[in-house]
């Protein structure tokens, strides 16, 4: 049976909670024939990278998100539908991490409301959802109508029927549809003992002392669609909701690429235009008596390649740092493969006269390598902190 995606999956990047690696979870989901898998760790996107690499290698549909753990106890999985929403999610997590001690992330509902455009949210209820959870659910749903679901999962306990009925009633009351999940902690049941040990380490207790802190059974693993239909078949709309969320979340980590940070180098020139002007001005300073055509041709070649690779902002950043250091009489010197660049010499980054050596610019920048150059600059150690603070 198809049409089911497991969208509440915790990997071992949820520290001392998840009992399986991200790639193990992806491979198991594929082996079980699931339509998709969603990896969402606690207040982090850390598990998404490895899950994405595995999913891409094995042809598995993957949703990458985060399980937002608010300071009042409310939990909601957030899956970005597009690249802009992913950026808002990283901003939200950065906000929560920067205001909290190391290892913690402090977020409140107001933060989620301010950054929550473009997500599919899955509210994950506690064991006994009460008025506080219902109120938060309603606030989130009112802010993002049609983009919030209420997670419902089998607890494999004697009161499962009553709990699921309460959640169904809450869904009707708030207008938030149900979504089925097994709230996964590991890829196969054999990982339950390891997950128990992780829980004990987290709670600072022994296995003998753990009691109800550890899971009562080994059921929180990935399950095939037919098993989920057997367990939650009386809630067909909840099972169908997983495919709807997958269809709406088209974002992939493949859409991300390195982007050099924005910097206002000039209000009137592009970074490439500014770099070229500074290079030719530097040439006149380095060679007041003039230079041969060979060096000019070398500079034209380097500037063309820098333009094609869009590295001008990087060169301007290093130029600006070196300029600042020299204005403050801080000793500095470029070295390494940058000495093969006539542009670096004209900018004052390096001091090796390119007319005195045979330059091998491709050792510094190459179209084949497809990676930015490495400009190493040494600063006198007594004043290095001044440069760091300027940066």
d(CA 215, CA 219): 9
Phi, psi dihedral angles at 162 (to 5 degrees): -65, -40
The answer to whether residue 261 sits within a structural domain is no
Neighbours of 300 (CB within 10 A): 13
Quickly state the pLDDT bin for 114 (edges 50, 70, 90): very high
Judge if 33 and 107 occupy the same domain. Answer: yes
Looking at residue 255, what is its pLDDT? 95
For 304-319, what is the mean pLDDT?
A: 91
Percentage of the chain beyond pLDDT 90 is 81
State whether 106 and 202 are in the same domain: yes
Q: Output the pLDDT for position 13.
A: 97
DSSP assignment of 225-263, as one string?
Answer: HHHHHHHHTT-HHHHHHHHHHHHH----GGG----PPP-
The model's pLDDT over 133-168, given as tens digits with 9 standing for 90+, comes to 999 999 999 999 999 999 999 988 888 889 999 999
Tell me the HSE value of 314 on the side-chain side, using a 13 A CA sphere. Answer: 19
Q: How confident is the model at residue 359 (pLDDT cuts 50, 70, 90)?
A: low
In a domain, 156, yes or no: yes
Q: Please check whether residue 260 lies inside any domain of the structure.
A: no
| pLDDT (0 to 100) of residue 172 | 96
* In the predicted structure, residue 287 carries a pLDDT above the cut 80: yes
Where residue 241 sits, what CATH number does that domain have? 3.20.20.140
| pLDDT, average across residues 307-317 | 91
- Checking 363-370 for CB contacts under 8 A at 24+ apart, the result is 363/337, 364/337, 364/338, 364/340, 365/302, 365/305, 365/306, 365/309, 365/311, 365/341, 367/305, 367/308, 367/309
pLDDT of res. 2: 56
Do 207 and 182 belong to one domain?
Answer: yes
User: Is 98 among the domain residues?
Assistant: yes
Range(s) of the domain holding residue 351: 271-390
In the predicted model, what is the mean pLDDT of the chain? Answer: 93
In angstroms, rounded to a whole number, what is the distance separating the alpha carbons of residues 14 and 226?
A: 28
User: Which of 45-49, 152-156, 257-261, 322-326 comes out lowest in average pLDDT?
Assistant: 257-261
> Comparing 156-165, 174-183, 222-231, which segment has the lowest mean pLDDT?
156-165
pLDDT of residue 346 exceeding 60, the answer is yes
Q: Is pLDDT at 1 greater than 70 in this prediction? A: no
| Model confidence band, residue 365 (pLDDT cutoffs 50, 70, 90) | confident
Determine the number of helices (DSSP H) and then strands (DSSP E) in the chain.
Answer: 15, 9
The string of pLDDT tens digits covering residues 78-113 is 999 999 999 999 999 999 999 999 989 999 999 999
What confidence tier does 27 reach under pLDDT thresholds 50, 70, 90? very high
> Same domain, yes or no, for 156 and 17?
yes
> How does residue 59 score in pLDDT terms, banded at 50, 70 and 90?
very high
pLDDT of 290 reads: 86
Has residue 100 been placed in a domain?
yes
Look at residue 264 and tell me if it is in a domain: no
Instruction: Out of 255, 279, 295, pick the residue that ends a domain.
Output: 255
pLDDT higher than threshold 80 for residue 358: no
Q: Are residues 52 and 152 in the same domain?
A: yes
Residue 266 reports pLDDT greater than 70: yes
Domain membership flag for residue 367? yes
How much is the average pLDDT of 185-208? 97
Cα 299 to chain centroid distance, Å, stands at 39
Residue 211 lies in a domain: yes
Examine the fold and report which residue of 220, 255, 290 is the final residue of a domain before the chain moves on.
Answer: 255
Number of domains making up the chain: 2
Q: How far apart are CA 119 and CA 148, in angstroms?
A: 8
Same domain? For 196 and 308 the reply is: no
Average pLDDT value for residue range 215-226: 96
**Domain end residue (candidates: 255, 286, 315):** 255
Whether 27 and 173 share a structural domain: yes
Same domain, 90 and 170: yes
Asked if 251 and 278 sit in the same domain, the reply is no
Mean pLDDT of 161-190: 96
Same domain, 283 and 159: no
Same domain, 89 and 166: yes
One domain, residues 275 and 249: no
């Amino acid at each position: 049976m198809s049409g089911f995606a497991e969208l509440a999956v915790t990997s071992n990047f949820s520290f001392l909670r998840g009992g399986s690696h991200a790639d193990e979870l992806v491979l198991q989901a594929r082996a079980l024939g699931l339509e998709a898998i969603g990896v969402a760790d606690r207040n982090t996107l850390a598990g998404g990278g490895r899950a994405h690499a595995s999913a891409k290698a094995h042809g598995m549909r993957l949703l990458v998100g985060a399980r937002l753990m608010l300071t009042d106890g409310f939990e909601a999985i957030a899956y970005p539908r597009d690249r802009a929403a992913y950026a808002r999610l990283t901003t939200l997590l950065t906000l929560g991490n920067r205001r909290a001690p190391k290892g913690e992330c402090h977020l409140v509902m107001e933060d989620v409301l301010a950054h929550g455009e473009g997500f599919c949210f899955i509210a994950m209820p506690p064991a006994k959802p009460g008025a506080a959870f219902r109120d938060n659910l309603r606030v989130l749903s009112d802010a993002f109508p049609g983009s919030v679901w209420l997670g419902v999962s089998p607890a494999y306990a004697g009161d499962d029927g009553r709990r699921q009925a309460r959640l169904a009633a809450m869904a009707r009351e708030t207008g938030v549809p149900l979504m089925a999940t097994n709230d996964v902690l590991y890829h196969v049941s054999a990982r339950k003992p390891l997950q128990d040990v992780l829980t004990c380490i987290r709670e600072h207790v022994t296995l003998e002392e753990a009691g109800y802190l550890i899971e009562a059974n080994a059921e929180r693993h990935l399950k095939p669609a037919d098993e989920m239909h057997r367990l939650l078949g009386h809630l067909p709309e909840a099972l169908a909701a997983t495919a709807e969320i997958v269809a709406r979340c088209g974002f992939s980590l493949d859409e991300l690429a390195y982007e050099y940070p924005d910097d206002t180098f000039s209000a009137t020139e592009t970074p490439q235009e500014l770099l070229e002007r500074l290079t030719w001005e530097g040439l006149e300073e380095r060679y007041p008596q003039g230079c041969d055509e060979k060096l000019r041709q070398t500079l034209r070649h380097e500037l063309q390649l820098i333009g094609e690779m869009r590295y001008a902002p990087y060169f301007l950043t290093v130029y600006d740092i070196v300029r600042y250091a020299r204005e403050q009489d801080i000793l500095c010197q470029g070295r390494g493969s940058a000495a093969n660049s006539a542009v670096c010499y004209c900018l004052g980054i390096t001091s090796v006269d390119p007319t005195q050596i045979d330059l091998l610019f491709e050792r510094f920048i190459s179209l084949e390598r497809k990676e930015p150059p490495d400009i190493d600059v040494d600063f006198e150690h007594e004043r290095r902190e001044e440069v760091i603070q300027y940066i």
